[in-house]
Amino acid sequence: MEVPENIGVSVVFCGPGKNGWDSRLGAPPSSSRFALIAALATPIAADAQGIGKKMIAVFGAPAHPIVKSVGPGGGFGPGIAYKPKLRANEPWSFRYEALITPKRYWSTEAIFQYTTERVHAEAYARARELTRLDFYGIGRDTSLDPHSSFRYSDRTIGALMSVPFRVSRTGIRIGGRVEGLFPDVRPGKNTDVPSIEQAFTDADAPGLAFQPNFAAYSGFVILQFRDDLNQLARLGGDMRASYTSFQEQGGDVFDFGRSTLEAQQRVPGFRDSDRLTLHQLYSSARAVSGSRVPFYLQQTLGGVGEVRSFNDQILGSDATKATLRGFRDLRFRGPHLLLLQAEYRLKIAGPVDATLFVDAGTVSARRADRKLSDLAHSYGFSLSVMTIDATAVRMDVGFGGKEGTHVFFSVGPIFQQ
């Protein structure tokens, strides 16, 4: 059984928080960190209350530790986050974080936010480096050999604005985002496999020879039904539609646009505490005539890890952003993607939940080549330790991909925020 070193990110906050903010587009409520502390500290010892108070003092401080992943293959590492305490109902907020992992992945970011009942706006900047990302080629028919690695770093600066409103019990958020993206690809640091330039050419991996800077312009719409209940309790569904135009600066070799449609439905299970979650994701990147879509900005399937732009998280399945869990992280890559998932959640004991899941998906270099008959399949189960309204830690075990058994570990927003 293969147990990858990497760790995924399982962020499950959804639905409006304070002032109606959709927390998928920002930081989740800090109260969940306190809920985790209470859940874990109580049974530890007779003085659990004192332990819990000490942990709250640490994690609730303006400067506090975090544990999270930067990206696939890097493991997870410690960092520090700083979020100054503000007055009640203060619309302005600021957050900064920095971390490094054992595989020398690192990330640092800062974000300013302004949130009221009528508008949400933010300005942000991020720098990161991922030293050993996997690349198997482009398309559904790639194999484990050749398997290469590459080092990817980028610098991002951007701004986002969105407006929330409600129609009956449906929450609607319309917004836009503008970014400057400065990517860089270099030889990979994974000594167990060849570096990407030793196994592939620029024809196989568009953008390998050089990486220009980009300006990216996005518009999005998010629908939430019903939007007035806690995520873990509420049924109904969410939908997201977005379009992003990537414009190369100083040339037109890599001009392209990406359309994304995503939906998630939650229906009751056999017991009151059970729930079935269905998830569909469609993404298509179309290059301007004569241009190409660079491989490092193409969508991926496989495992629980991914490399996405700032403020570009998917809805995901039930409390996870995992895709094909019967395969390695980043196993399939292409401009066009289709993902279908079903996941059934049930209570085991206390804060422990389990899910049974089925994943199916495919990628293709051309939109016409994407066929339902080419779907890769996987199935498996997960175990999660839950807080009141979020996942704390999670383990996913995936089978059925004909490439072995894969185990993935994830942490929730309690440790990441």
For the residues 393-411, what does the mean pLDDT come to? 94
Residues 132-152 pLDDT 10s = 999 999 999 999 988 999 999
Q: How many domains does the chain have?
A: 1
CATH number at residue 226: 2.40.128
How many CB atoms within 10 Å of residue 371?
A: 11
**In-domain check, residue 337:** no
Under a CB-based contact definition with an 8 Å cutoff, are residues 3 and 404 in contact? no
> In which band, very low, low, confident or very high, does the pLDDT at 85 lie, cut at 50, 70 and 90?
confident
pLDDT tens digits, 6-40: 433 333 333 333 333 343 344 444 444 444 444 44
> What band does 54 get if pLDDT is binned at 50, 70 and 90?
low
> What angle is formed at CA 367 by the lines to CA 251 and CA 243, rounded to 5 degrees?
60
Q: Which two tokens stand for residue 108?
A: 């640092």
**201 domain-assigned:** yes
pLDDT at residue 193 greater than cutoff 70 = yes
Q: Whole-angstrom Cα distance, residue 363 to residue 139?
A: 6
Q: What is the mean pLDDT of the chain?
A: 86
Assigned domain for 119 exists:
yes
How far apart, in Å, do the first and last CA atoms of the chain sit?
Answer: 32
For residue 52, being part of any structural domain is answered with yes
DSSP structure class, residue 398: E
pLDDT of residue 325: 97
Quick check: is 334 in a domain?
no
Residue 55: what pLDDT? 53
* CB of 204 closer than 8 Å to CB of 137: yes
Q: What is the pLDDT of residue 72?
A: 94
Give the pLDDT score at 178: 98
Q: If you count them, how many residues does the chain have?
A: 417
What stretches of 168-274 adopt beta strand conformation (E)? 170-187, 214-225, 236-248, 256-268
Q: How far apart are CA 68 and CA 181, in angstroms?
A: 23
> What percent of the chain lies above the pLDDT cut of 70?
84
Average pLDDT of the residues in 119-126 = 98
Residue 24: CA count within 13 A, CB half-sphere: 24
Q: What is the pLDDT of residue 56?
A: 56
What pLDDT does residue 131 have? 97
Q: Is residue 204 part of a domain?
A: yes
What does pTM read for this prediction? 0.84
Instruction: Tell me whether residue 323 is in a domain.
Output: no
Is the confidence at residue 289, as pLDDT, over 90? no
**Residue 279, domain extent:** 7-296
Rg (Cα) of the chain, in Å, rounded?
21
What span, in angstroms and rounded, lies between the C-alpha atoms of 104 and 338? 32
Domain presence at residue 184:
yes
Q: How far is C-alpha 145 from the geometric centre of its chain's CA atoms? A: 27
Which helix H or strand E contains 37, and what residues bound it?
helix 31-41
pLDDT tens track for 214-266 = 999 999 999 998 755 545 456 889 999 999 999 999 999 999 999 999 999 99
Tell me the torsion sign for CA atoms 178, 77, 113, 234. positive
Q: Judging by beta carbons within 10 Å of its beta carbon (0-12, 13-18, 19+), is residue 85 exposed, middle or buried?
A: exposed
Cα(258)–Cα(238) distance, integer angstroms: 20
Q: b/e per residue, 295-307, with b = 16+ CB within 10 A?
A: bbbbbbbbbbbbb
